[in-house]
Amino acid sequence: MQAEVEKIIKIIRPAIQADEGDIELVGVDESTGIVTVELHGACVTCPASTQTLKAGIERIMRDRVPGVTEVVEVNALGMSEMAVSL
């Protein structure tokens, strides 16, 4: 699954870079199907980055890579957004 996810990231990276951003694969949990990525550049402060992540990147991954269930982003501190709750 990891190799397939990496191929998809290579395909979508130019579109993200065209908007002054970038995407990095952090990990793939094959048991849960969760792909973790880190967004860089303009994506960090862009108010549409969540929409890009869920409606764009996650949709493409789920359509093209069997077993992918979700794509989550780590924040600048390296912690999953879902895990951060104070």
CATH T-level fold of 2-75: GMP Synthetase; Chain A, domain 3 (3.30.300)
Q: Enter the pTM of the model.
A: 0.82
Per-residue pLDDT, 84 = 43
3-state secondary structure of 85: coil
DSSP assignment of 23-59: EEEEEEETTTTEEEEEEEEGGGT-TTHHHIIIIIIIH
DSSP, collapsed to helix, strand or coil, labels residue 74 as strand
Compute the distance between CA of residue 4 and CA of residue 24 in angstroms, rounded to an integer.
Answer: 14
DSSP lists the bridge partners of residue 41 as 21
Averages of pLDDT over each 10 residues, the chain, 86 residues? 96 94 95 95 84 90 96 68 45
